[in-house]
Amino acid sequence: MKINKIVGYQVLDSRGKPTVAAAISLTDGTTHTARIPSGASTGAHEAKELRDSGSKFEEKYYGGLSVQQAVENINKKIAPKLVEEQIDLNLVDSQLIELDPSEDHHLLGANATLAVSIAAAYADAHSQNKSLARSFNPEGQLLIPMPMVNILSGGAHANRTMDIQDVLIIPVGAKSFSQALSWIVAVREMAAKLGKEAGHVTNLVADEGGLAIAFTSIEKACEFVVSAIEKVGLKVGSEVCLALDVAATQFFDGKNYNLSTVGKSYSQSEFVEYINNLVSNQPIISIEDPFAEDDWNSWQTFTELAPKKLQVLGDDLLTTNLLRLNKAISEKSANAILIKANQNGLVTSTLNVLKQARANNFNTVVSARSGENEDSWLADLATGWNAGQIKVGSTHGSERNAKWNRLLEFEATESTKFTNPFN
């Protein structure tokens, strides 16, 4: 089957910001579309998303955020090269690399390359008469990932109500994905109720659907979520545990970690000690970006020091980048990686990063971005790739629930197994 037509166009994401969509039509008359997410607390080492600010493409009312340049790259550069080629994801990605050999995809824009790459993955799966997940894992049981779900939001996603970005929960004791999801919803709704009773503002829903409640310390935020878990009758530790996304790059000034809502500043070594105490005193089983994206020393010291079972998860540190992952593997700077396709720019090279992580005993967490859309390919990738874990934000907002609902669909319609990397 061949590619008949490729069209790029601009659509809106869950924050009302422009993002790129690509539609690939095949010679059998079908069309396969993908829309691209976008971060707010983006790492400096991510692939380059093209925005129109200051260029001749800039649209007046989108505040420099329009993506018409990336769209034009799809329509004028990518489409002419790919139309009439066989539909094959590997071929599409290698041709995208030929067109833009730069490491960070800045020539075409990673938002242009990823939109085409995901649409090609869908079209390729269709040409094999398979779902996207099944195109990566054709035989046997589909392995549904363990969710890591946002309850409280701060940082760049919630107008800095807290210094850290997320307090999340992981339903480690659930026996199925649907049970896991029901626990998560119960905890999230209980947290909203408790927040309201305590006089916090709880109608403020953050970018990922979490609750934007102001806490004066990280410990208090953790204790609050623990009380919500207990109030719904679930056991902290054996059934539901905590995870944090500290997003520490956001409050590191090059020398000190400044927790401004707490009113405290820590040197690098003091912050390593602080984080180590925090994970020892709270039921935290996963900690993401506890240190800044280039503070490799603190990462290494902490990973050495931390409880061996703790998941030390690199997001801004690793940016789904093979070179940075390899450095972390050789220096033992983390033991898990967040996998975000738009940090990388292509489906096949994102999968290569995941495989390299797995080959080196790193846990892998396939993740959404804070700016999302109604697509559910993330659930297919996390499942088809047997990632073990998935992070999507909260259970509010259809851009989040599209992913959860896709996992429920797998559970209802396929032969599946719910994975638990924390066993």
Q: Is residue 392 classed as helix, strand or coil in its secondary structure?
A: strand
Active site residue 417: no
Residue in 49, 208, 288, 399 annotated catalytic: 208
* C-beta of 36 vs 248, nearer to Mg ion: 248
Residue 97 interface partner, choices Mg ion, ligand 2PG, none, CB cut-off 5-8 Å depending on type: none
CA torsion angle 302 308 314 317 (round to 10): 30
Whether the CB-CB separation of 15 and 122 falls below 8 Å is answered with no
Binding footprint of ligand 2PG on the chain (CB under 6 A) = 39-42, 165, 208, 245, 247, 315, 367, 369-370
Q: Tell me how many residues contact Mg ion (CB under 5 A).
A: 2
241-263 burial, b if ≥16 CB within 10 A, otherwise e? bbbbbbbbbbbbeeeebbbebbe
Minimum gap (Å) between residue 141 Cβ and ligand 2PG: 28
We find the least distance from the C-beta atom of residue 247 to Mg ion, in angstroms, to be 5
Give the nearer residue to Mg ion in terms of CB position, either 100 or 208: 208
Number of other residues whose CB lies within 10 A of the CB of residue 371: 22
Catalytic residue from among 46, 288, 293, 340? 340
Amino acid at 248: A
Measured distance CA(321)–CA(345) in Å, rounded: 10
Q: Which residue stretch of 128-136, 212-220, 223-231, 242-250 sits at the interface with Mg ion (rule: CB under 5 A)?
A: 242-250
How many angstroms separate the Cα of 56 from the Cα of each of 39, 53, 60, 67? 24, 9, 11, 11
Q: How far apart are CA 410 and CA 295, in angstroms?
A: 40
Would you state the structure tokens that stand for residue 346, as one six-digit string?
């292509």
CB closer to ligand 2PG out of 42 and 113: 42
Quick one: CA dihedral 275, 277, 281, 286, positive or negative?
positive
Tell whether residue 208 is a contact of Mg ion (CB under 5 A).
Answer: no
Q: At its nearest, how many Å lie between Mg ion and the CB of residue 262?
A: 20
Site track for Mg ion across 305-344, x = CB under 5 A: ----------x-----------------------------
Task: Return d(Cα 251, Cα 254) in angstroms, integer.
Answer: 9
Per CB under 5 A, 207 contacts Mg ion: no
For residues 245-274, which are near Mg ion according to CB under 5 A? Answer: 245
Q: Name the closest residue to ligand 2PG (Cβ).
A: 39
Nearest distance from C-beta of residue 368 to ligand 2PG, angstroms:
6
* Residue 46 binds Mg ion, judged by CB under 5 A: no
* Nearest C-alpha neighbor of 274 from the set 306, 251, 245: 306
Is 403 a known active-site residue? no
Q: Is residue 293 within the footprint of Mg ion (CB under 5 A)?
A: no
Closest residue by Cα to residue 243 from 144, 166, 160: 166
Positions marked active-site:
208, 340
